[in-house]
Structure 1
């Protein structure tokens, strides 16, 4: 299994204040389960970078689809990383 980096670009969301708490709750659940290693928010609210622990790209895609904001992502890039050290 590899580490998966997911780079998202967020489009316009009119009700972002309502959706963000739900978004963070999902990611916090993943963190408690050990599924995700890191969440980095981009400046100016333009998206996020998520780093998933030992998983595969298909599972990462399934997880991203669970996010309340996923339908607002203008771009989602999945990068498979093979950690050497």
Structure 2
């Protein structure tokens, strides 16, 4: 059994096993990777060097989802003041 990968936009899009590459319309989009370990879908492919690399992902900083009582009170006060000012200007409460 051989292992193949479909390359889409320089990315390993689909990895599958087959005896031979089926007659796909764009066979140039497929590479045989039999014997190459560690390649996963989503890896980046460099067509000049023939190498696969893991995509670089950046992690977002953790969100502090728990507000303090004071922060919640301040947010409520801001919302009330905003709605009152809109009402005083005749713009309604929305």
TM-score over 0.5 for the pair: no
Normalization by structure 1: what TM-score? 0.25
User: Which of the pair has the greater relative contact order for Cα pairs under 8 Å at 6+ separation?
Assistant: 1
1 or 2, which has the higher strand percentage?
A: 1
TM-score by length of 2: 0.23
Q: Which has the higher helix share?
A: 1
